[in-house]
Structure 1
Amino acid sequence: MSEATPSLPAYTHVLAVDIGGTKVDAALVSLDGEVVRESVSRRTTGRKADRDEVARHVREAAIAALAAAPDARVGAIGVGSAGPVDLPSRSVSPLNLPLAAGLAIDDVLAGLVDGPIHLALDGTCIALAEHWRGALVGCDDAMAIVVSTGVGGGFVMGGQPATGASGNAGHLGQIFVRTIEGDEVVASTLEAVAAGPGTVAWARAQGWEGETGLDLAASHAAGDPIALAAVSRSATAVGQAIASAATLCDLEAVAIAGGFSHVAPDYIDQVREAAQAASLHAYARRCRVVGSGLDGDGPLLGAAALALQS
């Protein structure tokens, strides 16, 4: 996709759907990656929403997107979902939607478009979006990660999405990293250490009095030593995880997205330095660590890229 966008000759657009832990977004996307702004539709979900309610919201968002551009010729649907996903059963069980586990995507979107429905982990879709229109253009062996309220990711290998047996390849947030707490080396998941909520909780445990990631960013900008240490702890953990991924998969580049990656102007630089320090092999140290090249449309572009590439 870095050289040419796969095309569906009889069609002008695909329907992109992004299922997150708190919301569902849908939109029409042209074959060259332009989101039809008037078609963007959002529905709110949440932990208390059961499977039927989430299914209704997903379908409503998709119908609204299609209705906004009735003259568009839509040839396929691409769906990116928070995980875990299960590609063999064509279902999703987002952790933040516990009552909607086992949501059957084909049943939810059946009959809306005269074309195939493609499903992938949201991290896989972000990687496809970065590879198509973002920071990973031209990099056919790469990873995209998101550092936000959680940590997720996805791979492009050989220019194609690498999904794994069940579709969950890229769950970087659930690998273990080492941190030093006082004089003790502690193993914890990357998400617990590096994501926004975990970083804020750690800072508060050290005596910092802020409450949110935005507060932490302000304190970091003001030079607060606890905030500086908290951000460094997060970036170091992300760098360690990237070093492991680059060593295992021989990656060309990793793109970092997500709101918490903007907690400090030098966050990406800190991650890059940590990845270099944790990489034992020269080929892993050659892996470039860059910020995302996408805007807020990244998840929808990724779902569209999935539909086009599939």
Structure 2
Amino acid sequence: MPADLIAALDIGGTKIAGALVDGSGELPVRARRATPAREDGATVLGAVTAVLRELAGSPLWTRVAAVGIGSAGPVDASAGTVSPVNIPGWRGFSLVAAVRETTGELPVTLVGDGVAMTAAEHWRGAARGRTGALCMVVSTGVGGGLVLGGELYPGPTGNAGHIGHISVELEGDPCPCGGRGCVERIASGPNIARRALENGWRPGPDGDVSAAAVAAAARAGDPVARASYERAARALAAGIAATAALAEIEVAVIGGGVAGAGEVLFAPLRRMLGDYATLSFVRGLTVVPARTGTDAGLLGAAAAAARGTRLSGFGTGS
């Protein structure tokens, strides 16, 4: 029986998803558990183990060549540990070693969720075939990853490309990371909503104060809601342009819940990018929506794991 599948895990603060992934990007077996994010570390691991055991119960498990994990971060791939901000029970948690207790001798690869999304977009999405790309998850946080020289570049700890903590306002608001004026502090969903509320926007009768509700109000013409998204777009434009100047990326791919705002976000972002990406070698930079959707974490974890195997088809970006 050929070993031609990757077992992938996508671990976040809301859900732990797992799948067996093949070289064409199909997911013939899936498993999922809610993340017990407010419980202790052992309880969270129990949910991960339950997902793995469900996958291992499939007859296809005998074809698994490696395990890939995309996790909320920070992660330390070199140490095999994770410290997700939204899972307090895991601080310096030895996730790779714990997964090996279930998966045995299979090689295990760990990357941050932004890097996983980047691997997915380079393999099956909007960065396919690109030599240099920044792929971003703009949601409750702002994460990202890099493609350099046509290859995924996770960096030594699996966090390279974490654009959310580039400072774009030197005297800006303090960020929980310890910095000031970070992209995430301005452009994440909760901060888009926070700024709109602070400046006088009020939700409708349903009381929805999410970034999606702000986007709906902006679409309907509310000037405060529109201004909050324009400020987020400017922060993203500055961070993207800075990354392009450093690494000569040719495309920025944006996914995550905030990207669901569509042209409320992308129209000002494209316009404002021209204010920052002014050097001759970055003027051709384009910004596009992500294409891999909710399976990005699983596809990307598989593609990242396949980098260390001889499996064909995974993560080639061709």
TM-score normalised to structure 1 length = 0.89
Separation (CA, whole Å) in 1 of partners of 2:48 and 2:201: 40
* Letter aligned with residue 26 of structure 2: E
Structure 1 residue runs of 5 or longer lacking an equivalent are 1-8, 182-186
Following TM superposition, by how much is the alpha carbon of 1:252 offset from its aligned partner in structure 2, in angstroms? 1.4
Partner of 2:147: 156
Please list the CA deviations of residues 91-132 of structure 1 after superposition, one character each: whole Å capped at 9, or x if unmatched: 111111122112212322114255211111111111111010
Q: Secondary structure at the match of 1:273?
A: helix
Following TM superposition, by how much is the alpha carbon of 1:192 offset from its aligned partner in structure 2, in angstroms? 1.1
8 Å contact from structure 1 (residues 125, 302) kept in 2: yes
8 Å contact from structure 2 (residues 219, 264) kept in 1: no
Alignment coverage as a number of residue pairs: 295
Instruction: Map 1:1-310; keep pairs closer than 5 Å.
Output: 10-36=2-28, 39-70=29-60, 73-110=63-100, 111-112=102-103, 114-178=105-169, 188-210=181-203, 211-310=209-308
Separation (CA, whole Å) in 1 of partners of 2:147 and 2:12: 21
Following TM superposition, by how much is the alpha carbon of 1:279 offset from its aligned partner in structure 2, in angstroms? 1.8
Separation (CA, whole Å) in 2 of partners of 1:214 and 1:180: 28
Separation (CA, whole Å) in 1 of partners of 2:262 and 2:288: 14
Separation (CA, whole Å) in 1 of partners of 2:61 and 2:71: 27
Following TM superposition, by how much is the alpha carbon of 1:292 offset from its aligned partner in structure 2, in angstroms? 0.6
8 Å contact from structure 1 (residues 124, 156) kept in 2: no
Following TM superposition, by how much is the alpha carbon of 1:19 offset from its aligned partner in structure 2, in angstroms? 1.2
Q: How has the CA–CA distance of structure 1 residues 88 and 180 changed in structure 2, closer, same or farther, with 3 Å as cutoff?
A: closer
Partner of 2:316: none
* Letter aligned with residue 200 of structure 1: A
Q: How has the CA–CA distance of structure 1 residues 73 and 31 changed in structure 2, closer, same or farther, with 3 Å as cutoff?
A: same
Q: How has the CA–CA distance of structure 1 residues 116 and 293 changed in structure 2, closer, same or farther, with 3 Å as cutoff?
A: same
Separation (CA, whole Å) in 2 of partners of 1:167 and 1:151: 16
> As a proportion of its length, which structure holds more strand?
1
Separation (CA, whole Å) in 1 of partners of 2:36 and 2:46: 13
8 Å contact from structure 2 (residues 226, 264) kept in 1: no
TM-score normalised to structure 2 length = 0.87
Q: How has the CA–CA distance of structure 1 residues 69 and 113 changed in structure 2, closer, same or farther, with 3 Å as cutoff?
A: farther
Separation (CA, whole Å) in 1 of partners of 2:230 and 2:165: 20
8 Å contact from structure 1 (residues 76, 113) kept in 2: no
Q: How has the CA–CA distance of structure 1 residues 71 and 300 changed in structure 2, closer, same or farther, with 3 Å as cutoff?
A: closer
* Letter aligned with residue 54 of structure 1: V
* Letter aligned with residue 56 of structure 2: L
* Letter aligned with residue 21 of structure 1: G
Q: Secondary structure at the match of 1:285?
A: coil
8 Å contact from structure 1 (residues 28, 66) kept in 2: no
Separation (CA, whole Å) in 1 of partners of 2:78 and 2:262: 40
RMSD of aligned C-alpha atoms? 2.0
Following TM superposition, by how much is the alpha carbon of 1:179 offset from its aligned partner in structure 2, in angstroms? 9.4
Following TM superposition, by how much is the alpha carbon of 1:222 offset from its aligned partner in structure 2, in angstroms? 1.0
Following TM superposition, by how much is the alpha carbon of 1:300 offset from its aligned partner in structure 2, in angstroms? 0.5
* Letter aligned with residue 17 of structure 1: L
Please list the CA deviations of residues 64-115 of structure 1 after superposition, one character each: whole Å capped at 9, or x if unmatched: 1232454651111011111111122111111111221122123221142552
Q: Secondary structure at the match of 1:15?
A: strand
* Letter aligned with residue 195 of structure 2: W
Separation (CA, whole Å) in 2 of partners of 1:92 and 1:165: 14
Structure 2 residue runs of 5 or longer lacking an equivalent are 173-179, 204-208, 309-318
Q: Secondary structure at the match of 1:282?
A: coil
Following TM superposition, by how much is the alpha carbon of 1:175 offset from its aligned partner in structure 2, in angstroms? 1.3
| Runs of 4+ residues deviating >6 angstroms | none
Q: Secondary structure at the match of 1:11?
A: coil
Percent identity over the alignment?
36
